[in-house]
Structure 1
Amino acid sequence: MTVALPDIGRDLGASFASLQWTVTGYTLSLASLILLAGGLGDRYGRKRIFLLGVAGFTFASVLCAAVPDVGTLIGARILQGIGGALMAPASMAILQSTIAPGDRPRAIGTWSGFAGIAGVLAPFVGGWLLSLGSWRWIFLINVPVAVIVLVVTMRHIPETRDDESSGMDWGGSALALVTLAAATYALTAIPANPGGPGALASALVAVAAGIGFVCYEQRTTSPMLPALLRKSRSFVSINVITFIVYGAFGVFSLIFTIALETVAGYSPAEAGSTLLPITIISLALSPSSGKLAARVGPRWQLTIGPVLCGAAALMALQIKPDTGYWSWVIPLECVFGLGTATMVAPLTSVALSSLPGGHVGVASAVNNAVARGAALLWIAALPPLVGLTGASYAQSEAFQPGYRLACVICAAALFVAGAVAAAVFRNHTPCDRRPLVARSLPHPLSRQLRGAKVVSTFSIPHRPDFWRRNL
């Protein structure tokens, strides 16, 4: 999608703000509904929700390929985001609930590697599809891929669910959607017209809905954000880092690809091919990265990874009309690839292992929602704040000043994320490997086992009714 933005803008006569919305419209529905989708998977079956998401995403992709104007494209992209929201948390919850705890770090590393491959191959394949003559092929390519995914999932993925899942938080989901939608519109509109009534009204709506969301979550019996999530220091910290890192990633990936085409003069296929080193590095290193984090802890990888990505963002300041493909762009992507391969697997592993196994669906959903919401808000806010508006994406002289400032901001944010990780994750023990002490057991077992440790690699409920029923 990012590689195709200039072509889409020219073909549909879209402004930079409209092109932003083709990206943020998808991310808006994805981030708003991903928490609800995690709960749906826990309650009704993760495999079932994943299959529904793949089917919905594919249907919306066909709509995207057939749109006559940019407004309709934005609407189709919002529908596509709903399918993505159903897929994202279910995929990680399936992995976490079907693989033994000792094997999860390697599995998550493999998953992260292939997720990175998919994300990086997309611009490369997108550039090749654009060479066929139409940007619409970038959506139609999803159809045969989805057919393969559906067949493999139905044949080889077991169904899992959380038997203790309670009701769904429909009210919280609605308030989250209103909050993010209003905030995104306000962040896009205020830099262009600070005193506009629409921008100010949307900002007020975002604040009111956000306050309403917090109040509602504290009172409802089935909150999207259980109290357990808010009490886990590791879980809160890793999501703060996720917000910073993926927000910077979202903006940098958007503007860097456009810079290669608009400033350096690369074709879409050439711009997409520059990202191939990230694919290779992610495939080679992500599984080992997951294993290393499990062995020595995630602290140093969560520190070094963002710093490497920040260094790549500073290297991107050198993009100009005569920037060499092999002499500068490919080394830049290698540094960025090393950063992501170092960081993504331990980041995902910490997010999932900071809570008991029964909450894996909602833990995955929260972390995905933070990542997508960060990209949504950063992409909505940062480009107009640095002056990337109107048709600047098509004019090298107009694009470069804002592009350079955005690169510096993204680099600074990534350095901050590395510093936060170094300060917070001095020691991290996965929740499913923490010893369960006898005092957590109800009377009379606690008297008999006082002072002893019960060590388990499984998440055992610590509730009197559980022990009375099973012992």
Structure 2
Amino acid sequence: MDRVTPAQRRVLVVAILASFVAFLDGSVVNVALPAISRDLAPPGTDATLDALALQQWVVDAYLVTLGSLILLAGSLSDVHGRKKVIVAGLVVFGVASVACALAPDGLVLVVARGVQGVGGALLVPSSLALIISAFSGHAQGRAIGVWTAWTSTAMIAGPLVGGLFVDSLSWRWVFGINVLPIAVTLWLVRGVAGGRPTGGRRLDVVGAVLATVGLAGVVLGLVELGHRGWASPVVWAPTVVGAAALVAFVVRERTASDPMLPMRLFGARNFAVGNVATLAVYGALTLMSFVVSIFLQQVAGYSAFQAGLAQLPPTLLTIGLSSRFGGLSGRYGARWFMAGGPCVMAAGMLLLLTTTADAVYVTQVLPGLVLLGLGLSITVAPLTAAILGAVPAADAGIGSAVNNAVSRVAGLVTVACAGIVVGATFDVDGFHRALVLCAVLFAVGGAVSAVGIVNRVDAPDDAAPDDAPAPGVPDAHADG
């Protein structure tokens, strides 16, 4: 990127590293799930969590705290400054990672994963808000492209990294290895400006509690539904409590003087539509990664490393192309990139329907994953830029938090529903049903973007002062 100062480059590196560990841990665990269930919920025992439920909760415990607290974390970022929140997130994430690596049973692992999600919630919105504060114009679009390339790559590269550790060492190293990048990021962040706090804002603790209870209750009900049915109080009781808490959360956010989720942000058309597209696209992407990783191992007989290696092509495509598409969307507008990319991913899911129990890689698995990687490269940077370009710079922290919360909640819900879609026994038919659902969700994301997104073109790099709204949009309601 041209005209990038050393200070800006350092901000970008810190933002990427801080977010990378959070996104990586959202997916790196997928290929470790069979090994974790063998160790901590072996068949034929009276384990508290059976194998499938343990696999779902190892993923969802992380996503439920990440998704429900990320809005509060975005407010913390705006109130207290990005740097302080990032440092706190790194420390919490590092301690929880060690606890995951040393977990003696499934319950401890699930609890530690939930604490990891707290750390991840602190990291993601503050990291992206640092970029929004440090870059403007075309440079901001390219910086967001680089950030989205690496963070999206983390989601897909996770299975490869996880498979390498599971096969060569132990699934516990999937979590323990986080300590190294966290230590590096803590050292680098010392030289980064902390960002200017927004005065006069308060934290919406009540909203955070309602969101957490609501998401946890609904997810618990969905995870247990496939095993127990609606008649079980373990299913309907938390579902009812969770749904009531979510309704109360919406009411609270509409009436609070300083809400955790400012409804005014949704007055910007691109922000509202972009988050709907995010809900569909990232729900499909998370479910796809979950079911592909498990299917390749438990049905097709791949090793953990082979399953991770099989998913490497989308990673390479995302690294190579995302920043380019981010720059193009800044020049020509995000609409058709956001519309076409998810449709390409949907086509990739349909190609994967040719997969049999043998999962012949070159003819059955690879073509669909290549289309997935191409579509993801086309989509992610324009999607992020369009959403954040629709909010004022002062709300960059909470705007980023909302979008990331939507993507995490989407993945949370789809993984929680995996048992319902796949069925009691994970076989080829169940895998195909999950792929069809992913294809539908991707297509919905593309259609919503085609109909709803309005193109905005970036101003020149030096056109926007530091306290101006994000480039191309005069205020938060410009699209409405």
TM-score range, shorter chain: 0.7 to 0.9
1:162 aligns to 2:197 (yes or no): yes
1:225-236 equivalences under 5 Å are 225-236=261-272
SS of 1:322 mapped into structure 2:
coil
SS of 1:164 mapped into structure 2:
coil
1:338 aligns to 2:374 (yes or no): yes
Separation of aligned partners in 2, 1:387 and 1:327: 23
Match for residue 4 of structure 1? 32
With 346-355 and 274-283 compared, the bigger mean Cα shift is at: 274-283
User: Structure 1's 322 and 201: CA in aligned 2 closer, same or farther, altered over 3 A?
Assistant: closer
Separation of aligned partners in 2, 1:458 and 1:45: 15
Specify which of 362, 367, 384 is matched with residue 403 of structure 2: 367
1:217-228 equivalences under 5 Å are 217-228=253-264
Match for residue 439 of structure 2? 411
Q: CA deviation at 1:121?
A: 2.5
Q: CA deviation at 1:252?
A: 0.9
User: Structure 1's 217 and 117: CA in aligned 2 closer, same or farther, altered over 3 A?
Assistant: closer
Specify which of 29, 36, 51 is matched with residue 87 of structure 2: 51
Separation of aligned partners in 2, 1:194 and 1:336: 35
SS of 1:190 mapped into structure 2:
helix
Specify which of 165, 184, 199 is matched with residue 129 of structure 1: 165
Separation of aligned partners in 2, 1:130 and 1:230: 43
One-letter identity of the residue aligned with 2:430: G
1:357-404: CA deviations, max 9, x gaps? 1110000000000000111111112x1222433xx3xxxxx4222111
Contact 1:259 1:319 in 2 (8 A): no
Separation of aligned partners in 1, 2:74 and 2:452: 27
1:166-181 equivalences under 5 Å are 166-181=201-216
One-letter identity of the residue aligned with 2:33: L
Match for residue 452 of structure 1? none
Contact 1:162 1:358 in 2 (8 A): no
With structure 2 as the length reference, what TM-score do the two structures score?
A: 0.86
Contact 2:297 2:304 in 1 (8 A): yes
Q: CA deviation at 1:226?
A: 1.9
Residue ranges of structure 2 left out of the alignment (5+ in a row): 1-28, 42-49, 470-480
Q: CA deviation at 1:85?
A: 0.3
Separation of aligned partners in 1, 2:147 and 2:280: 22
Match for residue 377 of structure 1? 413
Separation of aligned partners in 1, 2:263 and 2:30: 38
Contact 2:138 2:327 in 1 (8 A): no
1:224-262: CA deviations, max 9, x gaps? 122421211211110011011111111111001111112
User: Structure 1's 110 and 56: CA in aligned 2 closer, same or farther, altered over 3 A?
Assistant: same
Specify which of 376, 383, 394 is matched with residue 347 of structure 1: 383
Q: CA deviation at 1:165?
A: 4.9
SS of 1:131 mapped into structure 2:
helix
Separation of aligned partners in 2, 1:21 and 1:270: 24
Separation of aligned partners in 2, 1:172 and 1:188: 24
Identity in percent: 38
Q: CA deviation at 1:426?
A: 4.3
Separation of aligned partners in 2, 1:225 and 1:4: 34
Residue ranges of structure 1 left out of the alignment (5+ in a row): 393-397, 434-454, 462-471
Contact 1:260 1:319 in 2 (8 A): no
Separation of aligned partners in 2, 1:329 and 1:278: 12
Contact 1:41 1:161 in 2 (8 A): no
Separation of aligned partners in 2, 1:176 and 1:103: 35
Contact 1:35 1:369 in 2 (8 A): yes
Contact 1:263 1:320 in 2 (8 A): no
Separation of aligned partners in 1, 2:266 and 2:107: 38
One-letter identity of the residue aligned with 2:363: S
Separation of aligned partners in 1, 2:152 and 2:293: 17
Aligned residue pairs total 430
Specify which of 200, 218, 228 is matched with residue 183 of structure 1: 218
Query: Any runs of at least 4 consecutive aligned residues in structure 1 with deviations exceeding 6 A, and if so which?
Result: none
Separation of aligned partners in 2, 1:326 and 1:257: 17
Match for residue 15 of structure 2? none
Separation of aligned partners in 1, 2:93 and 2:405: 17
Match for residue 94 of structure 1? 130
Separation of aligned partners in 2, 1:108 and 1:298: 13
Specify which of 274, 292, 297 is matched with residue 256 of structure 1: 292
Specify which of 452, 462, 474 is matched with residue 424 of structure 1: 452
Separation of aligned partners in 1, 2:33 and 2:247: 35
1:107-140: CA deviations, max 9, x gaps? 1111111112322322112111112242111111
Separation of aligned partners in 1, 2:72 and 2:215: 14
Separation of aligned partners in 1, 2:400 and 2:296: 34
Q: CA deviation at 1:182?
A: 0.8
Q: CA deviation at 1:318?
A: 2.3
Q: CA deviation at 1:152?
A: 1.6
User: Structure 1's 388 and 71: CA in aligned 2 closer, same or farther, altered over 3 A?
Assistant: farther
